[in-house]
Chain A
Amino acid sequence: MTSLFSHFPVDRADWRPSADLATLAARAELLARVRVFFRDRGVMEVETPLLSPGTAPEPNLEPIACCGGRHLVTSPERHMKRLLAAGSGPIYQVAKAFREDEAGRRHNPEFTLLEWYRPGWSMTALMGEVADLVRMAVEWSGPPRESTWSGVFRRLLGVDPLADSIAELERAAREAGVGLPAGLDREGICDLLLSEVIEPALGTEGGALFLTGFPASRAAMAEIDPGPPPVARRFELYVGGMELANGYQEEGDARCLAERFQAVNDAREQTGRRRLPTDPRFLAAMEAGLPPCAGVALGLDRLLMLRLGRPDLREVLAFPWDQA
């Protein structure tokens, strides 16, 4: 008996691209403009491997493991820094990056990063160049503003994310209408408040905002300003209530980086996750010497979302994750 309730099979019905063709033309145009931007500034385009035996372990990034123990890169960072250590000078890359399980309106497990490095530059100088590049795609009024990570918690939620008690943070979440999962620690509460309350309010009303002064625990490969309190020399750019870019004053000390990877792997193991392989060639390059530099990774798919006013990543990708 044929069921009255059967449906057309979805794996055939959705063969068409989820972005319209005009959007794909706008993507091509944006890429062309990006390449002109960097050529005019003497920054060299490079290509680096997508599959690598090593990783740069992070607490909240899961690389996708595949063929022969290799991993798809979560960013081109390690390989680009090997080029910098080899004396490449300023370089940029338009690269696919892969992060397991990150799928949503603003995430696709396979996405396009624009990453670039400026030897001899300060983080502040690089923030200026990031603003120049983004302004090429998205109009905003006035100079970008800057705020510290703890400053936005105070301003938007009336709490000090590092000094106030967990109970006070929970109360602020309740008042803001954010439901917290049970047993969330301080960092978890702050992450959820940042996503739910703070991010939507940043860089709205036609402006842009650089967030700086992140906790040292979220430094990744950025230098740490010893303080007190110690803070990461790291920035994120927010435009239209969306995180667009993440940059560092780069930490080049091989021993310091090796210790951070070790600490991440220890923490991963304690929470029941596998240890991730580190990257001896990357650490050897750091020992040989990374020139003092600032670097940044910018989500090109998100930049296109902002440029075209599209609320969902699906609308700017030809074939998103569930249609790949």
Chain B
Amino acid sequence: MLTHNQLRQGTKVEIDDVPWIIVDAQFVKPGKGQAFTKIRIKNLIDGRVIDRTYKSSETVAKADIIDQEMQYLYSDGEFWHFMDPATYEQFALTASQVKEVTDWLIEQANYQVTLWKGKPISVVPPPFVIMTITHCEPGVKGDTVSGATKPATLQSGAIVKVPLFVNEGERIRVDTRTGAYVERAKG
């Protein structure tokens, strides 16, 4: 159980039988009066955001949440399968659970899967991924300074803007938080 002063931004809590992440926590207390902690929480399953206020004597349950690095295996069209590389245990995620990450899914690569009470609820990609360009217009040799870009389709089907000198078949590093091209991958 968490006491009111342990309710901090980023802490995961279980309220009304649902897991939430605290997105904002505020301590309030009038001069000689009682203390309260107001928290704004985001539902880890459907993304809904609500506010709750707790007395200083109240406790809140810590959510049984584990972020586990897992390898993406494949999709059968209905489920997306991931594997814990330590135990070889497999987990199946639904389309809505993977929708934020499908642009950056590469088989055999590692992702962070969030488990609530041992069941997967969401997945996030690493901050940077290296992906192969499966289609783009031919490169323009020597043009490394103009800043002009062209669309390139990656192996996942995602489309990112790349500089003109980049070619089909090349591997590039992409920032998954912004979807921006970073550089050509070395090696």
A-side residues, CB < 8 A to B, are: 3-5, 58-61, 101-105, 107, 178-181, 184, 187-188, 190-192, 194-196, 199, 214, 218, 220, 236, 243, 246, 271
- 20-70 of chain B: CB within 8 A of chain A: 26-36, 51-58, 67, 69
Could you pull out 22 A-B pairs where Cβ atoms are within 8 angstroms? A4-B126, A5-B112, A59-B32, A60-B29, A60-B35, A101-B4, A101-B35, A103-B5, A104-B27, A104-B29, A105-B27, A178-B53, A179-B53, A180-B53, A187-B34, A192-B28, A195-B28, A195-B30, A218-B32, A220-B32, A236-B31, A246-B31
Does B97 reach chain A (CB closer than 8 Å)? Answer: no
B30 contact from A4, A101, A194, Cβ within 8 A? A194
- Measured in the bound complex, the distance between the Cα atoms of B126 and A5 in whole Å is 6
How many chain B residues have a CB neighbour from A under 8 Å? 27
Closest to A58 in B: B32
Contact of A104 among B26, B55, B110, B127 (CB under 8 A): B26
B35 touches A102 (CB 8 A): yes
Across the interface, A191 reaches (CB within 8 A) one of B5, B27, B33, B51, namely: B33
- Cross-chain contact A102 with B27 (CB below 8 angstroms): yes
B interface, CB within 8 angstroms of A: 4-5, 26-36, 51-58, 67, 69, 110, 112, 126-127
Q: Which residue in chain A gives the minimum CB-CB distance to B3? A: A101
Q: In whole Å, how far is A85's beta carbon from the nearest beta carbon of chain B?
A: 24
B33 CB contact (under 8 Å) in A60, A103, A105, A179: A60
A101 to B, closest residue via Cβ:
B5
A59 to B35, CA, bound (A): 11
Contacts of A58 in B (CB 8 A): 32
A104 to B69, CA, bound (A): 34
- Min C-beta distance of A296 to chain B, whole Å: 12
* Chain A residues with CB under 8 A of B57: 271
Closest to A179 in B: B53
CA distance A195 to B67 in the complex (A): 37
Please measure, in the bound complex, the distance between the C-alpha atom of A194 and the C-alpha atom of B67, giving whole angstroms.
40
A52 to B170, CA, bound (A): 71
In the bound complex, how far is the Cα of B69 from the Cα of A3, in angstroms? 8
Contact B55 A187 (CB under 8 A): no
The answer to whether B27 touches A246, judged by C-beta atoms less than 8 angstroms apart, is: no
The reply to whether A4 and B55 form a contact with Cβ atoms under 8 Å apart is no
> Contacts A4-B127, A60-B33, A195-B33 given: A107-B27 contact, CB under 8 Å?
yes
Question: B5, B58, B67: which contacts A181 (Cβ < 8 A)?
Answer: B58
Contacting residue for A187 out of B33, B36, B53, B126, CB 8 A: B33
